[in-house]
A and B are shown apart, each in its own frame.
Chain A
């Protein structure tokens, strides 16, 4: 076994589980028929998705003029929602990659679902750049492919183009990382399944057998993918922030955006993971795997990143004053006192103030508090992007161009449609694949199961062996 685990650590698996029970608990749900809650949720999601698709078709047919963006505020709902979804997606990769590098074992309870959430969130996000263009049928112009028009290439100076590469890379790498981790669990499902299900899962589990050499390479691959995903997470949202930071508009043109956006992305991503995990653990009865300790750890991250984001807001205000540059100063007067002051207040309250409750350990470990605060955080992060985009564009350099924006039904419908898409995909995922990484949880059972660690630990009978690097606590031999 690996190095000794400190006795201060809290258990991560409750219920005195053994490996088989873990399989039953985590793989079992994919074998049962969906219950009524799932069916209702799925129906609602699909209906919402349908509404969104209808609104998209309406947009394609009549034009972006069906939205309320205008000559001054060229981006509003579309890009706000894009950045919001991409931000949410960052938690999954962070949990999988960065927490792996930091050897935070609690990631195993949430990483599978969080990564799935990332992929679905990136899909929802990707919808917006593709459909917000005036001529979406020409979106392929953004790809640098050889053509007969010169060949006419793309503009590599443009942050939107960097976005294209960043998000495609992010989606691909997340998908690869997620799927590679999923393969052993799909093999578990396969080995318990019969008939058509067995054939299907056999196809998707790629012939995994659990050979030692394969595991070795699998671990290696995961580690390296984690290693490159870490800078990827940081770079993707940095590049998204460059959409604004590299422009000349006051309120956008600021070097604080890259770290601010990344912190904000992690902040909103973890909040969404919390929301989903709390629902998931309740529905599938996984409180033993997605424990209060997991929830508390994620809340700590939320507190840290929320405070970072909040202090970034305060620094922005300070720097605007200190700079003496009147356009920048006005940009912040406009945010705080202008026609969208309510969005700014919402942002401050939800992002800076609400996570501060997590200083209290009791609240950090409370499922109800977590659920509500996580929703507030996401609302606050939406307001943040709205404030950055719509408020700033509404009033910039030349006062004669100032304008006002309010979304049209089409834009709201598309946004709701992305929720429909996200939840539809998530519900399908929860149905067909184990929402918790079963193999990884088994790997930490001996160190973090509650029978080995924490207040309920039972003294384990010593097992005879000659090796010195033996783990003091987790030897044992079970039936």
Chain B
């Protein structure tokens, strides 16, 4: 992102169906799409763009397991395992056994959920390159309003390819076509 100057040619569409058709056409023509921007998530877009499935669920699972183990091992280490092993400070609370799994369950569950949620969310922001104060270049202010954007990177393209792309935009029904450097 820093230091890389991208020259971008993008088209703005008014409707997501039109955009989807444009993308399908672009794929048929083997055009190299840089990115697609939209004001809301469009169903079926990932399939059409052939985006890889996200593996956030794996992240969630790993963090969740971390939470479970932290809770379980932590409490077991502190309270001890009754007959099995001596804990850090086994205490007789109301005649309960030192290691009392039923009592540990709520905390185990909560820490699983907590770790999973925090882990996944933080990883999400990191891999998307988002964060407080991050300023990603915005192609057009109306993308978050009502425009759908299909962008091609034209850094090393010759003018005929660029014209080709412009023609593509016209043919697929883009309302506007612009180029910018970001």
Contact = CB atoms under 8 A, between A and B. Distances in A.
A192 B20 CA distance: 26
Nearest to A474: B17
Contacts of B100: 157
A70 interface: no
B103 interface: yes
Interface string B28-56: 00000001111111111110010100101
B156 interface: no
Contacts of B88: 151, 153
A173 B113 contact: yes
A209 interface: yes
B111 A208 contact: no
B73 interface: no
Contacts of A210: 37-39, 143-144, 149
B117 A228 contact: yes
A1 interface: yes
A163 B106 CA distance: 9
Given A156-B79, A210-B144, A214-B130, A478 B14 contact: yes
A217 interface: yes
A80 to B, nearest CB: 22
A168 B17 CA distance: 43
A180 B142 CA distance: 21
B15 A478 contact: yes
Interface stretch (A282-290, A343-351, A355-363, A439-447): A439-447
Contacts of A221: 56, 120-121, 124
A162 interface: yes
B107 interface: yes
Interface in B93-119: 93-94, 96, 100, 103-104, 106-107, 109-111, 113-114, 116-118
Given A165-B111, A206-B131, A221-B124, A235 B43 contact: no
A212 B142 contact: no
A32 interface: no
B11 interface: no
Contact of A144 (B74, B94, B109, B136): B74
B128 A214 contact: yes
A157 B96 CA distance: 8
Interface in B74-91: 74-75, 78-79, 88-89, 91
Contacts of A161: 107
Contacts of A202: 133, 135
A446 B18 CA distance: 13
Nearest to A168: B114
A interface: dominant SS? helix
A: contact size bracket: 35 or more
Interface stretch (A183-191, A295-303, A410-418): A183-191
Interface stretch (A16-24, A36-44, A374-382, A450-458): A16-24
Interface in A166-204: 166, 168-169, 172-173, 176-177, 180, 183-184, 187-188, 190-192, 202-204
Given A157-B100, A224-B56, A476-B15, A19 B146 contact: yes
Nearest to B116: A228
Contacts of A440: 40
The residue among A187, A191, A207, A220 with the most chain B CB atoms within 10 A of its own CB is A207
A399 interface: no
Interface in A1-45: 1-2, 18-20, 22-23
Contacts of B75: 156
A287 to B, nearest CB: 21
B45 A166 contact: no
B35 A220 contact: no
Contact of A23 (B110, B117, B133, B146): B146
A118 B142 CA distance: 31
Nearest to A443: B40
A216 interface: yes
B144 A172 contact: no
Contacts of B136: 207-209
The residue among B16, B135, B145 with the most chain A CB atoms within 10 A of its own CB is B145
B157 interface: no
The residue among B24, B51, B124 with the most chain A CB atoms within 10 A of its own CB is B124
The residue among B17, B74, B93 with the most chain A CB atoms within 10 A of its own CB is B17
Given A169-B111, A217-B124, A463 B146 contact: no
A168 B113 CA distance: 11
A24 B38 CA distance: 17
A101 interface: no
B138 interface: yes
B56 A220 contact: yes
Contact of B41 (A152, A172, A215, A477): A215
26 contacts: A19-B146, A22-B146, A152-B89, A165-B114, A184-B39, A191-B138, A203-B133, A204-B132, A206-B134, A210-B38, A212-B51, A213-B51, A218-B41, A219-B41, A220-B54, A221-B120, A221-B121, A225-B121, A229-B113, A235-B110, A239-B106, A239-B110, A442-B146, A475-B17, A476-B15, A477-B14
Given A23-B39, A214-B128, 5 more contacts: A162-B110, A184-B40, A206-B134, A215-B42, A219-B41
Which A-B residue pairs are the 3 nearest by beta carbons? A19-B146, A207-B134, A207-B136
